Structures are given as structure tokens and as C-alpha cells.
Chains A and B, each alone.
Chain A
Amino acid sequence: MKIGIVCPYSWDVPGGVQFHIRDLAEHLIRLGHEVSVLAPADDETPLPPYVVSAGRAVPVPYNGSVARLNFGFLSAARVRRWLHDGVFDVIHIHEPASPSLGLLSCWAAQGPIVATFHTSNPRSRAMIAAYPILQPALEKISARIAVSEYARRTLVEHLGGDAVVIPNGVDVDFFAKADPKPEWGGQTLGFIGRIDEPRKGLPVLMAAFPRIVAECPDVRLLVAGRGDEEEAVASLPAELRSRVEFLGMVSDEDKARLLRSVDVYVAPNTGGESFGIILVEALSAGAAVLASDLDAFAQVLDQGAAGELFANEDADSLAAAAVALLRDPARRAELSARGSAHVRRFDWSTVGADILAVYETVTAGAAAVAADERVPLRTRLGFSREG
């Protein structure tokens, strides 16, 4: 099958959606499909052979933060050319509602279109205003995929219609087979994520940390991720700061080894998560997981059966749960065993098969994707015979 995938965010900036698309593309290529990914990228960035650059993304303030987006004539022309050259059986657009390549491709294409909605933003004023603009583009999508039941609910609430739920995929064995590092083990808590992004929840963990140390004197905290380290520990008493070890940005291999080594992986995120791929990675590595009780997290953790949940933004609740886990190796082993079994459904072998099933459903009997040719004005007004 010839598959075109549209990535809305810059290929050179690491992010969940980009990784998902990379893994999906490589999985499909391994299965023998022809895949082309259209993504914003700097012209100098080395790209894998299956990625086509749609030009540089421009930073613009959008939806409360600065987003790097592609729009304008040039991007639209590149999208058209890609569609025209590709002759795809199906195109798979990620984040079709964001004002970037996703929306442009929706406008420009006709034929079997599959779309994945990753984020679940609360209904915004801009979305309501944009509805009449979005609707004609979004109604071209033949099949919608939401990454979690929570994302599906918000999607249905905002745009109506329905979607199938297919979770994000993870290469479970990559994490399950990583070598633990001895110096990262032994009464350790792990945290991975942007240090200076409050929604990732490091401040909640820092608030709980003194209470955890009071109960478990040997505990250490390993933090991997970008951000200002001084600022992150500023709220901690000076004598505890040495117990927090910053690893900076880590490679995929080190991330897997870290998750394999720690006793408890803590995900204190306070909101804005629609899936929680990091939890799936931690479960794959066999770590005991302690996460805030966001809807999306509770679903990944099978409502608490595959990992412990604590009350969101509640440092006391986090501390109590972390201490209980650190003191109880039997409970950790139980969670790890249950997590490893539960996480198989997120493996690429399963997720990839489901996504392919969607492609096959929408392409059955349909023509290939083509550029949506604009009808000339003459025809529209009824002055031409072909109209």
C-alpha cells in the first residue's frame, strides 16, 4: 500500500507526535508498505529517506503558547506537489485541526483520508469561531482515530461525529530488554520530562520529596529532561539537594535503561495529557508506576490495576503512595508483572495492525488520494460545457 503521512510539527524538534509518526512509518516500511512522510523541517536538517520537507515552520503565538506552524502559499503548494507526486492509496494526517500542514493537507486532498487526533484541548473560543472554517476541511476525513477514550470524548464533544480509539504504539521489547544500570538502582524514584514545564508536575514531586525522604532515608530522585536545574531544586532544603540527580537530556537507550533501573517511576503531570506514552514506556521496562489520576493516565494504567494512582496536584497523596511502594518490594513486583502483561496491547505489532485495518477499511473500493483540483470559476458559474 502507498501511504502518505502528514506530520504537523517540525521534524527537527523532538516531541511525542513526531516520535509516534517516525515509529509508525518505520513499522509500516518493515511490513513492506511504501511510506512518505511530509513534515516541516529546516533545509539543513538531515532527514531519513522517507521524509519530505515541507519547508521551515514559523514560530507564531497560537493557543496560549508559541507554536511552530506551516501556512501560506508556499506550504500549500508543497502539500499539493507532494500529493500529486505521491499517488497515495491513503493519507494519514496527524492533528488535522491545528492550523498547520494537517489542515492544509485536508484542504488540498481528496480521497481516503485518515486522521489521528492527539491532543484533547478544552473547547476554546478560537475553536468555536473557527468551526465554519474547519468543518469543510474536516468533513473530508473518512476515518478518525483518537489516541485514548478521553481524547475521543473531547473530540466528539467539540466536532461531533465519532472516532475509533487506537492508542499510541511503543516498541515494548526495546524497553523490556534494556540493561539496568546499577548506579541508578536501589531506592530510586525516576522522573522524565521537561523540568521547567509546570504541567509535567516536577514541582508537585519536589513538594512531596522531603516527606518521602523523612520516611525512606536512602531514597534518591533521578531526573531526566531539559530545563534549569538550579531553579528546579530551589524549593528543596539545602541538605536534600544532593539526593536529586539531574541527567539532562538522555538518549533513547539511556531512557530505557533508566526506566529499567528505578524502583518507582513517578508521573506527577497536572494536566494537558491525552495519552501518556511515557507511562507505557515505564510499564514496558517493568518499572512500578505511580501517576497522577488524570483521565488519560488512569486509562493507560487500567484504572489503577497496572500502576498506582494518586490525587492530582496533591503532594501528600504522592508522598504517601511513594513511601508505601518504596517499602514494599512485593507490591512493586506485583505491579511490574501486571504492567508487563497489560502493556502488550500498546506494542507496535498490535497498534500497527489496528491502524492498517483502518487503512484497509477506508481504501476498500475507493480511488487513490489526489489533489483536490479547484473547479474553475467558469465551470462553477455554468458557462462551461464540462461543468
Chain B
Amino acid sequence: MSPPVIENLVWIAVAFAVVGVYLSWTAGRLDRLHTRMDAARAALDAQLVRRASVVLEVATSGALDPASSLVLYEAAHAARQAEEEQREVAESELSQALRAVFADADQVEVLKSAPGGVEAAEQLAAAVRRVPMARRFLNDAVRAARALRRHRKVRWFRLAGHAPFPLAFEMDDEPPADLADRPA
């Protein structure tokens, strides 16, 4: 082979190597984003389960009036038992039930005055504040992963493999105002 042909082949090889390294690096990025998303999803799941458990505890403690207790129990039970497709709706309904029951600041005082009520109110306040936090972190990760997965290089070279397209978790997570008093 004549020298110009060898030179061309070398250049082509270099170009392939550069593209290969770039694609491998992008695949690494994507992998990291999927890991982050899985961690965020697990954290949200933990917070939602925790919220439902605290609500169940409050509902069955007898600290609140029977009607409020029943409303909370029903919503928390439904949220815990919900299938994956129904979960966003069930968790939103639990948020709405909490807002309805604790719409009155006096209701929070009633809870606090019961034996062990101060701790229960604190746990409930922590739980309803952490759910929106965890959900924002998850949806932020989902957005970043989706942005990268929509990119040409990822689609053409199938860098995402068989991982399902990431879905955001949409729910009403507005906490009751009197329970979680924080600036917006």
C-alpha cells in the first residue's frame, strides 16, 4: 500500500476511536442518571410509605374525632394498597384528605393535646414536608435523563439499552398549611 492510503486509514481509525470514547462516556452519563433516578424513586417511595404509616397511626390512635379519623384511615389505607398505575391518584387523595382534616389550625392543637400527640404531629409534619421534596428530586432526575435520552446520539446508537423511558411522578403533594408552616 502506498503511504497516503496508510495515512488515511490511520485517520479513519483515530476518528472511530474518538467517536467510540465519546459514546462510551455518554453511556456512562446515562447509566449514572438511571442510578440517580432509581435512588430518587426509592427515596420517594420510602417517604410516601412513611407518610401513610404516620397517618394510619394518627387515625387509629383516637386522638381525633371519629369522622376525621375514618377519612384519614380510608385515604391512607388506599394509598398503601394502591397498584402502581393507581398510586399517583391515591397519594393525591391522601394529600387532599390531610388538607381537609387539618384545614383548621385547632385540629392540629387537638392532635397535640392527645397523649403522645406532640410527637405524632411532628412526625406528620416532617412526613408531609418530605414528600414534595423527594418528588421534586425524582422529577428533576427524570427530566435530566429524558433530555439526554432524546438526544440523537443516544437514540441512533441505542445507548439506553432496554431501560424503560423514565416517567415523572405527578401528584398533588401540597401539605396542610397549618401543619407545615414554611415560606413558600
Contact = CB atoms under 8 A, between A and B. Distances in A.
Nearest to B137: A143
A210 B40 CA distance: 57
Contacts of A278: none
Contact of A354 (B25, B46, B182): B182
Interface stretch (B3-11, B71-79, B140-148): B140-148
B46 A364 contact: yes
A162 B141 CA distance: 9
Given A164-B136, A361-B130, A381-B17, A366 B39 contact: yes
A161 B143 contact: yes
A163 B39 contact: no
A380 B47 CA distance: 38
Contacts of B184: 149, 165
A18 interface: no
Nearest to B141: A142
B35 to A, nearest CB: 9
B41 to A, nearest CB: 10
B175 to A, nearest CB: 13
Contacts of A358: 133
A139 B148 contact: yes
Interface in B116-131: 126, 129-130
Interface string B130-159: 101110110111011001100000000000
Contact of A361 (B28, B43, B140): B43
A332 interface: no
Contacts of A31: none
Contacts of B126: 357
A377 B29 contact: no
Contacts of A129: none
Contact of A345 (B42, B43, B143, B182): B182
A105 to B, nearest CB: 15
Given A139-B33, A364-B42, A162 B182 contact: no
Given A142-B39, A365-B39, A160 B147 contact: yes
A198 B117 CA distance: 52
A374 B137 CA distance: 26
B43 A362 contact: yes
A261 interface: no
Nearest to B147: A160
B21 A164 contact: no
A187 interface: no
Chain A binding surface, main DSSP class: mixed
A142 B144 contact: no
Interface residues of A, number: 33
Interface in A348-378: 350, 354, 357-358, 360-362, 364-366, 375, 377
Nearest to B23: A380
Contacts of A139: 29, 32-33, 36, 144, 148
B181 interface: yes
Given A345-B182, A357-B126, A140 B32 contact: yes
A375 B21 CA distance: 10
A368 to B, nearest CB: 13
A144 interface: yes
Contacts of A361: 43, 47, 130, 133-134, 137
Nearest to A342: B183
Nearest to A381: B20
Contacts of B17: 381
B63 to A, nearest CB: 23
Contact of A357 (B25, B130, B140, B141): B130
A18 B43 CA distance: 30
A36 interface: no
Contacts of A299: 183
A169 interface: no
A167 B126 CA distance: 17
Contacts of B20: 380-381
A98 interface: no
A192 to B, nearest CB: 23
Contacts of B147: 160
Contacts of B86: none
10 contacts: A140-B36, A149-B184, A160-B144, A162-B140, A345-B183, A357-B129, A358-B133, A365-B46, A375-B24, A381-B24
Given A362-B43, A365-B39, 10 more contacts: A139-B36, A140-B36, A142-B36, A142-B137, A143-B133, A162-B140, A162-B143, A302-B183, A361-B137, A364-B46
